[in-house]
Amino acid sequence: MYAVIKTGGKQYKVSAGFRLKVETLPVEVGGEVEITDVLMVADGDDIKVGTPMLAGATVKATVLAHGRGVKVLIFKMRRRKHYRKTQGHRQNFTEIRIDGIDAGSSI
């Protein structure tokens, strides 16, 4: 069984036991998260797609850690103008583990 969820403006295909890094969630480490933005749930040949979300479907997850990603360097330069600018960015993330998928009355 797997599901497609939406969190932080991105979509992820998840199944039970899956670990992934998502945009920062305001939950403490070890806390439970219930994601209600479920776009699709599939169990073998039974596939249910929401319009846009599935009513009653939830995905339960546990927060494992908070952190910051690798540094991305931004470099701007104009040739022959003596202009150079370097900037760095590290995105915050929350690592979660998917505990279970509840399709509700969808399947």
Q: What is the residue extent of each domain of the chain?
A: 2-102
Q: What is the pLDDT of residue 81?
A: 97
Taking residues 86-97, report their average pLDDT: 98
Q: What is the pLDDT of residue 82?
A: 97
Exposed/middle/buried for residue 44 (C-beta within 10 Å: 0-12, 13-18, 19+): exposed
Structure tokens at 38: 């479920």
Mean pLDDT score of the chain: 95
pLDDT at 107 over 60: no
Gap between the Cα atoms of 25 and 107, Å rounded: 28
pLDDT at 87 over 90: yes
Q: Confidence band (pLDDT; 50, 70, 90) for 99?
A: very high
Taking residues 16-44, report their average pLDDT: 96
Can you give 25-83 as a three-state secondary structure string? CCCCCCCEEEECCEEEEEECCEEEECCCCCCCCEEEEEEEEEEECCCEEEEEEECCCCE
Taking residues 61-65, report their average pLDDT: 98
